[in-house]
Amino acid sequence: MASNYVPNFNPDTTTMQTARRGTIPMNISDDIITGVKHGSALMKLARAIPMRKPIEEFTYMTGVGAFWVNEAERIQTDKPTFVQAEMRAHKMGVIIPTTKENLRYSVTNFFELMRPEITEAFYKKFDQAGFAGINSPWQQSVLSSAESVGNIITETANKYDDFNEAIGLIEAEDYEPNGIATIRAQRMKYRSTKDGNGMPIFNTANSNNVDDILGLPVAYAPKTSFDNKVMEVLGDWNYAFYGILQGIEFEILTEATLTTVTDADGNPLSLAERDMAAIKATFSIGWMIGNEKAFSAIKPESTVVKSNTKK
């Protein structure tokens, strides 16, 4: 549960000044990972696979069907296809600056304070990698999968046509689209689009439901997850998998210079010069696409390479 570097470690009484590195207490780690799952649009859509080692092998089944049956007739059975898959975990890290005064908190109180920032940083980073391949350690993303099989639609002024074609590309390969990921800025376009009968294609969530477009549930990612590379991604999300390998480890930094964070003058943030600290948190997560043909994407016109599209 605890830091391996402090004798008689008790997270409720040991301060962060003493516990400079270790493993976040299990209950807080579980809360952060639960928050990541709730915040990540990709995790809402993809299938979770238990991971026990850095390269996890697992089997998933395809090709199961149903049949019409007459009275007293033997029910036919479809021969399923079992696919052997291999998912590789990579370590994800975030560094969050904080004040040195916060190191006076106990480990428990400090991570309760920092939990929202750690959670948000983790799920944003994972969505960026999984959706659009941004700074990703994996070769596959949803966008790259759609591009590799030509399942790309160029966005038009008519979102009904866009979605109809993107869904059709997946259905043409005998997959069943069951979800859409997009950014909230697109909702204005959806609200103004009608189908051929004048009916809205977008339904706002009510009660315990979620927003849907043409009957497909919508998961919203932060706009940085797509980085203007794509407007929407659609898929049969039974063919997207993720797994979390281990708990969250941490290290307190006080002497580092953060090159990805700048001060008011645009210079890298020196923790020592600013009398600040930073927490580095890491955990390992796996990700893979089971079949690239199960996904399609709608891209803004300026990003589409004409020779690699279906339209």
Judge whether residue 219 has pLDDT over 70: yes
Q: So what's the pLDDT on residue 1? A: 42
Residue pair 145/290 in contact (Cβ under 8 Å)? The answer is no
Mean pLDDT, residues 215-226 taken together: 94
How much is the pTM? 0.85
- Is the pLDDT assigned to residue 34 strictly greater than 90? yes
Rounded CA-CA distance 234/216 in Å is: 9
Mean per-residue pLDDT, 289-295:
96
Q: Is 296 helix (H, G, I), strand (E, B) or coil?
A: strand
Is 72 a residue whose pLDDT tops 60?
A: no
Question: Predicted confidence band at 59 (pLDDT cuts at 50, 70, 90)?
Answer: confident
Residues 117-126, mean pLDDT to the nearest whole number: 95
| Predicted pLDDT of residue 177 | 96
pLDDT average, residue stretch 99-121 = 94
- What average pLDDT does this structure show over 76-91? 77
Measured CA to CA, the distance from residue 146 to residue 136 in angstroms comes to 17
> What is the pLDDT averaged over residues 214-230?
93
Cα 199 from Cα 201, distance rounded (Å):
6
Q: How far apart are CA 124 and CA 221, in angstroms?
A: 8
Over residues 224-230, the mean pLDDT reads 92
Q: What percentage of the chain carries pLDDT values higher than 70?
A: 88
Cα distance between the two ends of the chain = 54
Tell which residue, 102, 153, 49, 98, has the closest CA to residue 280: 98
Angle between helices 26-39 and 107-132 (to 10 degrees): 30
The pLDDT of 217-224, averaged and rounded, is 94
Q: Around 236, how many Cα atoms within 13 Å sit in the side-chain half-sphere?
A: 17
In terms of pLDDT, which residue wins out, 237 or 65? 237
Kindly tell me the number of DSSP H helices and DSSP E strands found in the chain.
7, 16
The domain locations on the chain are 21-63+90-308
- 135: Cβ–Cβ under 8 A, 6 or more apart, which residues? 125, 128, 129
For residue range 155-195, list pLDDT tens digits in order. Answer: 999 999 999 999 999 999 999 999 999 999 999 999 999 98
Give the whole-angstrom CA distance, residue 188 versus residue 20.
47
Give the tens place of pLDDT for each residue, 127-157.
999 999 999 999 999 999 999 999 999 999 9
Nearest to 45 by CA among 165, 217, 206: 217
Burial class (CB in 10 A: 0-12, 13-18, 19+), 229: middle
Instruction: Report percent pLDDT > 90 for the chain.
Output: 67
Neighbouring-strand partners of residue 283: 92
- pLDDT, mean of residues 16-25: 90
Q: The CATH number of 21-63+90-308 is which of 3.90.550, 3.90.1690, 3.40.50, 1.10.10?
A: 3.90.1690
